[in-house]
């Protein structure tokens, strides 16, 4: 029996890094010899393979187990150990194949199902991992360490599979049994938010405050929940708290800026977007919203270079093209404005604003037919509601504003 360490690392789009470390045993048993090979020769081969494995000589150990498997094709222990060594090398599909083969020979090997589930988890197949962990959890005594480990594994597996509502009860039970663990509570709060259980987010937030009263990440989560509940004042206050707790938290200035922008507080919103670009100079959306704030404040000389920078960073954003069109139309540069409004329409055909601006420009230029067509378009479109701050931050994460990943350290035989 060799203790194992399970390591989960999860980045929530730049908002937090969860690291969970704990040990659990897994044991592989040898199958009885059914072959012509002498017991003494087999024992020597097996002892040598185990010694190599214990010395972390992965490739020689794997070669030794494969030599055993060549003469004993139904040796479940050899298959299981090869699966473990493949997993050590992050060859998770191969690990699963050998674990499955071991399971077909001897499904009673202790630790085999756990390691199979971990190989699925590490390989990113979270649904299969959960499928393996579920029956193990049902068999584990409720108050045992094994059950607690499986609660967390299941919570993280369902989280990784984007089944956030299913993850919540496992994570809630896990944190109830480990009340001092802040990372677990953060995962739970994220899962509650992403499954639209907003009161759950706020309940967990208040629990987090007892562990860390200055958690910018927790303040942001509460702010996102309040915004989803249309409590914009409390949402803004939570993001102000987050800025105070950690002004370098990814997305914190953007989130506060966007909430203020939605309330037409463009002066302070612009300041927050500018601060976000100081933390993340290549954040095209923050630059775009900063520029838009300057347009709305009628600061064209400040706005124009920002709009150009936003488009250099990402030319597929509608907002900078729309704002450039507004600036050029105001300045009488109608041909430039026409091109920019058309680009905005192409990028966001269901947004009423570019169509309306384009129609007004056609009207100004005397093109009544084109103006009529664009005005007709606007009658078929409704002004889109502003995204919530949660949606905006989620979109930024999906674009890779910060990478999200899940990984596990090797399981041990």
pLDDT, tens digit, for every residue of 206-245?
Answer: 999 999 999 999 999 999 999 999 999 999 999 999 999 9
Residue 405 has pLDDT above 80, yes or no: no
Residues 153, 242: Cα–Cα separation, whole Å: 30
CA distances in angstroms from 63 to 30, 85, 86, listed in the order given? 17, 10, 11
Query: Looking at per-residue confidence, does 185 or 32 come out higher?
Result: 185
Residue 69 has pLDDT above 80, yes or no: yes
* Residues 27/413, Cβ–Cβ less than 8 Å: yes
Residue 119 has pLDDT above 60, yes or no: yes
Residues 210, 190: Cα–Cα separation, whole Å: 18
Residues 355, 353: Cα–Cα separation, whole Å: 5
Residue 409 has pLDDT above 80, yes or no: no
Query: Looking at per-residue confidence, does 56 or 29 come out higher?
Result: 56
* Residues 290/313, Cβ–Cβ less than 8 Å: no
Would you state the pLDDT for residue 404? 36
Would you state the pLDDT for residue 145? 94
Residues 323, 341: Cα–Cα separation, whole Å: 9
* Residues 388/224, Cβ–Cβ less than 8 Å: yes
Which helix H or strand E contains 232, and what residues bound it?
A: helix 232-245
Residues 184, 88: Cα–Cα separation, whole Å: 26
Residue 14 has pLDDT above 50, yes or no: no
Would you state the pLDDT for residue 112? 95
Q: Over the range 39-69, which residues count as b (16 or more CB within 10 Å of their CB) and which as e? A: eeebeebbebbbebbeeeebeebbebbbebb
Residues 35, 343: Cα–Cα separation, whole Å: 74
Tell me the average pLDDT across 88-106: 96
Extract the tokens encoding 174: 């896990």
* Residues 328/316, Cβ–Cβ less than 8 Å: no
pLDDT, tens digit, for every residue of 358-392?
Answer: 999 999 999 999 999 999 988 888 766 678 888 88
Residue for token digits 């707790």? 245
Q: Angle CA(130)–CA(19)–CA(283) in degrees, nearest 5?
A: 100
pLDDT, tens digit, for every residue of 120-134?
Answer: 999 999 999 999 999
Query: Residue 401's pLDDT band (boundaries 50, 70, 90)?
Result: very low
Would you state the pLDDT for residue 4? 36
Q: Global pTM?
A: 0.80
Residue 8 has pLDDT above 60, yes or no: no
Angle between helices 92-105 and 112-122 (to 10 degrees): 160
Query: Residue 286's pLDDT band (boundaries 50, 70, 90)?
Result: very high
Segment among 22-36, 82-96, 175-189, 283-297 with least mean pLDDT: 22-36
Residue 400 has pLDDT above 80, yes or no: no
Average pLDDT, the chain: 87
Angle between helices 76-88 and 39-54 (to 10 degrees): 20
**Greatest pairwise CA separation for the chain in angstroms:** 99
Q: Within 123-215, where are the H helices? A: 126-139, 145-160, 164-177, 182-194, 198-211
Would you state the pLDDT for residue 332? 96
Residue 66 has pLDDT above 70, yes or no: yes
Paired sense of beta strands 2-11 and 406-408, if any: antiparallel
* Closest to 153 measured CA to CA, from 188, 117, 178, 181: 117
Neighbouring CB atoms inside 10 A of 17's CB total 11
């Amino acid at each position: 029996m060799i203790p194992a360490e399970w390591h989960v690392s999860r980045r929530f789009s730049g908002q937090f890094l969860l690291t969970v470390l704990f040990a659990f045993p897994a044991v592989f048993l040898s199958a009885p010899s059914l072959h012509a090979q002498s017991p003494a020769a087999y024992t020597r081969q097996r002892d040598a393979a185990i010694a190599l494995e214990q010395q972390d000589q992965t490739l020689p150990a794997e070669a030794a187990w494969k030599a055993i498997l060549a003469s004993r094709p139904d040796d479940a222990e050899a298959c299981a150990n090869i699966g473990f060594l493949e997993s050590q090398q992050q060859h998770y599909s191969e690990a699963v194949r050998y674990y499955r083969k071991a399971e077909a020979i001897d499904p009673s090997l202790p630790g085999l199902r756990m390691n199979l589930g971990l190989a699925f988890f590490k390989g990113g197949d979270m649904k299969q991992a959960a499928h393996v962990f579920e029956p193990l959890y049902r068999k584990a005594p409720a108050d045992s360490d094994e059950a607690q480990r499986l609660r967390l594994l299941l919570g993280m597996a369902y989280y990784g599979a984007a089944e956030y509502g299913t993850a919540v009860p496992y994570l809630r039970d896990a944190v109830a049994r480990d009340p001092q663990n802040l990372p677990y509570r953060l995962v739970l709060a994220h899962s509650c938010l992403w499954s639209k259980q907003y009161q759950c987010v706020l309940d967990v937030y208040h629990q987090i405050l007892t562990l860390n009263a200055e958690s910018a990440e927790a303040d942001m989560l509460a702010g996102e929940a309040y915004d989803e509940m249309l409590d914009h004042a409390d949402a803004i206050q939570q993001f102000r708290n987050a800025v105070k707790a950690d002004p370098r938290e990814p997305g914190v200035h953007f989130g506060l800026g966007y909430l203020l922008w939605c309330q037409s507080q463009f002066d302070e919103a612009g300041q927050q977007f500018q601060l976000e670009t100081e933390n993340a100079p290549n954040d095209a959306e923050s630059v775009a919203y900063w520029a838009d704030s300057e347009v709305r404040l009628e600061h064209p000389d400040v706005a124009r270079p920002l709009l150009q920078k936003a488009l250099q960073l990402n030319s597929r954003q509608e907002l900078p093209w729309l704002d450039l069109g507004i600036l050029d139309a105001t300045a009488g540069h109608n041909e430039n404005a026409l091109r920019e409004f058309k680009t905005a329409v192409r990028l966001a055909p269901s947004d009423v604003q570019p169509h309306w601006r384009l129609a007004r420009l056609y009207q100004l230029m005397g093109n009544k037919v084109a103006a009529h067509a664009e005005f007709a378009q606007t009658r078929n479109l409704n002004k889109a509601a502003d995204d919530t701050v949660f949606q905006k931050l989620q979109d930024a994460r999906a674009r890779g504003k910060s990478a999200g990943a899940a990984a596990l350290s090797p399981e041990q035989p």
